Amino acid sequence: MAALALRPLSPQLLVLAKTECNEQETERENFIVNLQTWINKSPHLKAPTDELLLLAFLRRCRYSQEETKRRFDNYYSLRGVFPEVLGSRQVDEALLAQHQRGLHIIPARPVSPNGPRVIISQFKQIDSKKSNPREAFKLLFILLELLALECDNAGIAGLIYVVDARDVSMEQMMQYDPFLLKKTFSLVDQCMPLRFVEIHMINMRREGVAVFNFVTKFLPSQLPWKFMVHKKSEDLYEHLPREAMTIEYGGTNGYQAEALDYWRQQLEAHRDYFAKDAQYGTNEKLRVGLANAWSSGELSGMTGSFRKLELD
């Protein structure tokens, strides 16, 4: 068997991968090959067998084969009920133009050598004439898949997500309807190969809290990550080091323009990868065994109400 193209880890990440992900370096390839065999033998599942993507799923599930299969299956099954975000993911000029507006920023370095990666969303940058929240989320999850492929810190230490609500109007906030957020939560919580460890909302106006409480009322009261809302971006540094954020936010992690250029290059380099994406998904008529939760209309863990948000 030819050796797989897996990146060597730094000593710090090697230790963290073992403690956080239950990873044994000598066993990685065997686990990946077993998953590739399972995918190829699953009649209902049409999905890539890219070793770096499978490695990210294994780390997310702490190398539990069954949990990895469930999450991977979910990731491709959800496409049937969430095509507005997970369908038509071509890297075309429209997507690149949206990216270049600075909607989502991935700073150059992780929080620390063995720390999580940060991604910043500035939803004021949506061009309302050419785009909408669903297109914004589509770009976000494309970038997150690139992180799963290209960044071991993201796969091992996780993600810190910073949402900047500065200059987002009430009308724009109301476009993030509960059903969109419900599906997005399912994608993050039960499907994607990376885990969020913290989510911070910054520059949230007080009147925006009432709107946010309304549109998130269908989400669970208990979230699987730390969630905080801050009046201003400076409050973020009570929880994150300045080294984590870009210079525009008072940090030291490079300029946003540099980050945008780097990830534009990554998008263009993966144009063929995402061109194949349209062929992937599930055919529930060919599934052997129990129906997937998405096809039977059961979104587990989606009952309950979101707790009332308070400004930090």
- pLDDT for position 307: 40
Can you give the pLDDT of all 312 residues of the chain as single tens digits?
456 778 999 999 999 999 999 999 899 999 999 999 999 999 999 999 999 999 999 999 999 999 999 999 999 999 888 899 998 899 999 999 999 999 999 999 999 999 999 999 998 888 777 778 889 999 999 999 999 999 999 999 999 999 998 887 767 776 777 778 888 888 999 999 999 999 998 987 776 676 666 656 666 667 778 888 888 888 999 999 999 999 999 999 999 999 999 999 999 999 999 999 999 999 988 987 666 655 555 544 433 333 444 444
| DSSP state string for the chain | -PPP-PPPPPHHHHHHHHHHH---GGGHHHHHHHHHHHHHH-TTEE----HHHHHHHHHHTTT-HHHHHHHHHHHHHGGGT-HHHHS-----HHHHHHHHTTSEE--SS-SSTTS-EEEEEEGGG--TTT--HHHHHHHHHHHHHHHHHH-HHHHHH-EEEEEE-TT--HHHHHTS-HHHHHHHHHHHHHT-SS-EEEEEEES--HHHHHHHHHHTTTS-SS-SSEEEE-SSGGGGGGTS-GGGS-GGGT-SS--HHHHHHHHHHHHHHTHHHHHGGGG-EE-GGG--SSPPTTTTT--TT--S-PPPP---
Q: What's domain 87-269's superfamily in CATH?
A: CRAL-TRIO lipid binding domain (3.40.525.10)
Position 211 scores a pLDDT of 63
pLDDT of residue 63: 97
Sequence ranges of the chain with CATH classification 3.40.525.10:
87-269
- The pLDDT assigned to 219 comes to 64
User: What pLDDT is stored for residue 299 in this prediction?
Assistant: 47
User: What is the model's pLDDT at position 182?
Assistant: 82
pLDDT at 210: 67
Distance (Å, whole) CA 113 – CA 136: 29
CB 116 within 8 A of CB 153: yes
| Residue-level pLDDT at 301 | 40
User: What pLDDT does 212 receive?
Assistant: 66
Q: Determine the angle formed by the axes of helices 178-190 and 133-150, rounding to 10 degrees.
A: 10
